[in-house]
Structure 1
Amino acid sequence: MTPQVPTVKFNDGQEIPVFGLGTWKSKPGEVTQAVKDAIDLGYRHIDCAYIYGNEKEVGEAIKAKIAEGVVKREDLFITSKLWNTFHKPELVESALKETLNNLGVDYVNLYLIHWPLGYKEGGAVFPTDEHGKLVFSDVDYVDTWKALEAVSRKGLTKSIGLSNFNKRQIERVLEIATIKPANLQIECHPYLNQKKLIDFCKSKDISVTGYSPLGSPDRPWAKPEDPQLLNDPKLITLAEAHKKTTAQILLRYQVQRGVITIPKSVTRTRIAQNFDIWDFQLTPKDMQYLDSLDCNGRFCPMTGGKGHKHHPFENDEF
């Protein structure tokens, strides 16, 4: 029996399952099976991005499951993101069409600006100069937003939103928007609980998706001495009390806060285990305890974009 996953309603009326499968860092050779497994296990929300380099393989899994009659396209919620080299308004539609083509679908449910900062257009996805330093674009993300509104009016995406934007940047978008962002996707876990930004988004009727809810232990730049969220003794104690894994505690924490959460895994047993969080509740005291672990511990600081005028984490409190 597949659990009925709660949904969050966007400000435009579309509903998103509060739990989904993340695909960042999932190797092309493994991600097709992971998405097939997830759909078989009851996941109906898949989070993708152009830069992950695996949208074609995700698309193969979706196509296979639709062909088998396991799901219809309208049963699935698919998110993708506009990469930093396509911020020029005239590049947005073709970038989204490439994603649709990769995924083998006519529309995505949600399309996000992946980062507020742009990179030089027209070449590599990480364009660098002769010193190996990233080359930036000075396109303003408010102009990019206007182009997202245009593709949404064409029906290429049902909803549009932002990713990795800070409060001030969201406010700038809201000032010019004729279509309001439906969602903000940000790094979120007890070490970086994002309470202020989440409260701000709630006040503006913008839903929040939390990525790296398990602390992204397989992030490419991780160092052996970095703190390991999943192995935090405080978490282990709480998990033992609930007879659950630390991962299940972390995922339940987000869902209870109303944060849409998208853990990544390519292992069927773990994909199933991550999904097995509907049969227990964390108490208000547990939630407070988890909130108290916050240490502004960001695992994805976007160091490559340092110095860009639109870098979201350099000059603003949140």
Structure 2
Amino acid sequence: MVVPTVKLNNGRTIPIVGLGNWKSKPGEVKQAVVDAITAGYRHIDCAFAYGNEEEVGAGIKQKIDDGTVTRNDLLITSKLQQGGRSYSTESEKFGSGLLGPLPHSLAIGLPRSPDRPWAKPDDPVIFDDPKLKELAQKYNRSPVQIILRFQTQRGVVAVIPKSVTKERIVQILNCIDFELTDEDIKYFERFDCNGRVCALDWNGIDFCYDLLLNTKDKLKGVLRNARSGLV
């Protein structure tokens, strides 16, 4: 299956579905990456803070070595940290040569920072929504596929759901071969509650993003970078 892409403001493209690896358990990540690339994924997301980049790199290397893909076929996203880490040390951790040339990474860099779950016990559970269940039956899809299709069909975002189960990895990718109606899209847009996430230190990791420094000058700098095409 060929995964559609969206164009970034610097002209490069990013597949709209990728494999997330946050909270994937040690010993399961390599095979998940192998299964994902075999299924058609060409976007693999990882981070030093996840503690599993070596397995991600091993899975990618296996699929390159067996001829399924070349390095240029893949988009690999990671997150560089401060506190003595650099691109070279991140590349060594991940797997020599697999991250690719630094200019490519900078050209498509998207500031991201992992954070703790924000759900509370009394929050509504989206998968309990009656309309979502109705649409899942209508399209003969799972509720997860419906939600992912809402995101990907708008053409403005890439989704990176996590799974280490082969069947679910394939199921996730199958969120791109059907179309929701305009009415369906508008229904899900009403779920927006104008929520915002505050940046916090996570898992003892220092983040390198200026946005985490709570000053107006730093925030202005981030916004300037966004306008100049860095995000």
Place the TM-score, normalised by the shorter chain, in its bin.
Answer: 0.7 to 0.9
Q: Deviations over 1:258-306 (max 9, x none)?
A: 11111111111111111112321011110000001122456x654558x
Structure with the larger strand share: 1
Q: 2:192 — aligned with what?
A: 294
TM-score of the superposed pair, with normalisation by structure 2 = 0.77
Q: Structure 1 residues 304, 162: closer, same or farther in 2, change over 3 A?
A: closer
Query: Does residue 229 of structure 1 match 2:178?
Result: no
What is the percentage of aligned positions where both structures have the same residue? Answer: 48
Confirm or deny: 8 A CA contact 1:22 1:262 kept in the other structure: yes
**Change beyond 3 A, Cα 1:230–1:29:** farther
Partners of 1:13 and 1:308 lie apart in 2 by 29
**How much has 1:236 moved relative to structure 2?**
1.4
Shift of 1:74: 0.8
Compute the displacement of 1:32 (Å): 0.9
Taking the TM superposition and a 5 Å limit, the aligned residue runs for 1:65-84 are 65-83=63-81
Structure 2 distance, partners of 1:51, 1:271, is 22
1:49 aligns with 2:54: no
Matched, 1:96 2:87: yes
2:23 maps to: 25
Matched residue SS, 2:149: helix
Map 1:198-213 to 2 at 5 A.
none
How many residue pairs end up in the alignment?
207
SS in 2 for 1:16: strand
Distance across 2 between alignment mates of 1:68 and 1:244: 33
2:106 and 2:66 map into 1 onto residues whose CA distance is 25
1:242 pairs with one of 139, 144, 148: 139
1:309 to 205, 209, 214: 214
2:148 counterpart residue number: 251
Return the TM-score normalized by structure 1.
Answer: 0.58
Letter in 1 for 2:40: G
**Quick one: distance in 2 between partners of 1:222 and 1:30?**
26
The two structures, once aligned, show a CA RMSD in angstroms of: 3.0
Partner Cα distance (1:36, 1:264) in 2: 14
Q: CA deviation digits over 1:192-223, x for unaligned, max 9? A: xxxxxxxxxxxxxxxxxxxxxxxxxxx76755
Query: Structure 1 pair 56/303, CA: closer, same or farther in 2 (3 Å)?
Result: same
Q: Sort the Cα spacing of 1:242 and 1:310 in 2 relative to 1 into closer, same or farther, 3 A.
A: farther
Please say if 1:272 is aligned against 2:221.
no
**Contact 2:152–2:176 (CA<8 Å) still a contact in 1?**
no
Residues in 2 aligned to 1:304 and 1:162: alpha-carbon distance in whole angstroms: 15
Give the unaligned 5+ runs of structure 1.
111-150, 165-185, 188-218, 313-318
* 8 Å contact kept, 1:39–1:65: yes
